[in-house]
């Protein structure tokens, strides 16, 4: 989500930071300049492919995500896919044929994933700006300032846009004007993963995870916490050992369950209204999970793909064929789990059984952001900016 000195791609230093030894970091990470994992990734082996990934169209989007591998994941709404690069280029394409609808150059470098919703595209920048673009032509609706760099995609309900910045602050902006409505601040540990949690925003409340291992439910009227819970507890002597970031986005269900992942902690199922723990599973993950039917799909930090029973937390299946290949967060396309890896491969797994069913390579620069999917269509953006659209068959 990597270098033997403090790597930009994995760690962040919000204020006071201490030096961490190269040996300790090497145990956890690898060499970011070459985008290689610390551990030896499993070699890809042949398997019985029952699904095909057919290329539909591809386009180059600027210069990609930069050396720091900013998590600028693309977003789709309706028949349009939106993508950007780290230098400030944003483009819109027809999702079916790749025709470029528009392209703009912002005057500031982009750092966050995109969020396309209700005719707008929201994004964050390295200098702490949040920008709203019109989906029709890319014109700027408004620009607003928050406390620090934004890596997580801004999240919206009907009235508000919630932005989580790298210093742990949550800022609620008016969706129409960009004006600040309220701010919630959390304490940050001395060392955090490079990245922040992404709020899960519904109309009355927002569920927000922090680098200190705590989850808060905020009242969207005023930003006041309704309840807070320690999901992961720091343990160990070194700051690396004590990393417990809630770096993924919580998943909430219509029946009031909340699923949360944590680094160096557990996957936890909660009762969303009060925070009561339903079950815990001992899996470390900095990625957002997905819920497919009654199976919660989790990519762990050693790149195992695991299916958990959403009612009990019991493991239904586990696939370790892609171990240590630095998989992206999972996506879902037509009965398959979709993940990308550090060598630029896209892998398909059967969501019910966990077996590998398909594979193709997009680009050797690697894939570090979650694919965007719609039905059987997959949009994958490689680290060099190449945006590839694939169709799953049968």
Q: What is the CA radius of gyration of the chain?
A: 19
pLDDT at 189: 76
pLDDT, residue 21, reads 31
pLDDT digits (tens, 9 = 90+) for 104-131: 999 999 999 999 999 999 999 999 999 9
pLDDT for the residue numbered 191 = 80
User: For residue 252, what are its two tokens?
Assistant: 């909430």
Q: Tell me which residues of the chain have a pLDDT lower than 50.
A: 1-11, 13-36
- What is d(CA 92, CA 383) in angstroms, rounded to the nearest whole number? 18
Cβ atoms of 327 and 319 closer than 8 Å: no
pTM: 0.90
CA 116, CA 81: separation in Å to the nearest integer? 9
List helix spans (H) across 2-158: 22-28
pLDDT for residue 11: 42
Convert the pLDDT of each residue in 179-224 to its tens digit.
999 999 988 877 887 778 999 999 999 999 999 999 999 999 999 9
């Amino acid at each position: 989500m990597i270098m033997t000195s403090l790597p930009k791609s994995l760690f962040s230093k919000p204020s006071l930071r201490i030096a961490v030894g190269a040996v300790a970091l090497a145990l956890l990470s690898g060499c970011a300049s070459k985008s290689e994992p610390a551990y030896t990734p499993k070699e890809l082996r042949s398997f019985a492919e029952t699904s095909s990934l057919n290329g539909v169209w591809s386009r180059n989007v600027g210069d990609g995500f930069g050396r720091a591998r900013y998590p600028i994941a693309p977003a789709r709404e309706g028949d349009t896919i939106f993508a950007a690069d780290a230098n400030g280029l944003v483009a819109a394409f027809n999702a079916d044929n790749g025709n470029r609808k528009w392209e703009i150059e912002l005057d500031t470098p982009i750092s966050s994933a995109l969020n396309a919703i209700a005719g707008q595209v929201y994004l964050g920048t390295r200098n702490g700006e949040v920008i709203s673009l019109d989906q029709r032509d890319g014109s700027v609706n408004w620009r607003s300032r928050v406390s620090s760099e934004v890596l997580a995609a801004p999240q919206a309900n009907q009235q508000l846009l919630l932005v989580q910045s790298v210093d742990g602050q949550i800022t609620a902006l008016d969706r129409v004007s960009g004006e600040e409505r309220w701010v919630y601040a959390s304490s940050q540990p001395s060392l955090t993963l490079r990245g922040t949690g992404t709020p899960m925003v519904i109309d009355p409340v927002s569920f927000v995870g922090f680098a200190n291992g705590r989850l808060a439910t905020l009242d969207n009227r005023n930003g006041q916490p309704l309840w807070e819970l320690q999901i992961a507890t720091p343990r160990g002597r070194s700051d690396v050992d004590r990393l417990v970031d809630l770096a993924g986005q919580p998943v909430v269900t219509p029946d009031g369950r909340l699923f949360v992942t944590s680094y160096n902690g557990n996957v936890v199922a909660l009762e969303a209204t009060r925070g009561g723990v339903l079950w815990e599973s001992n899996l470390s993950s900095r990625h957002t999970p997905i819920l497919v039917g009654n199976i919660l799909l989790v990519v762990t930090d050693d790149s195992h793909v695991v299916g958990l029973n959403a009612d009990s937390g019991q493991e239904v299946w586990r696939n370790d064929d892609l171990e240590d290949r630095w998989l992206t967060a999972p996506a879902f396309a037509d009965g398959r789990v979709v993940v990308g890896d550090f060598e630029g491969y896209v892998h398909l797994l059967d969501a019910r059984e966990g077996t590998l069913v398909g594979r193709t390579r997009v680009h050797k620069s690697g894939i570090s952001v979650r694919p965007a999917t719609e039905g059987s269509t997959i949009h994958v953006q490689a680290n060099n900016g190449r945006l590839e659209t694939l169709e799953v068959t049968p």
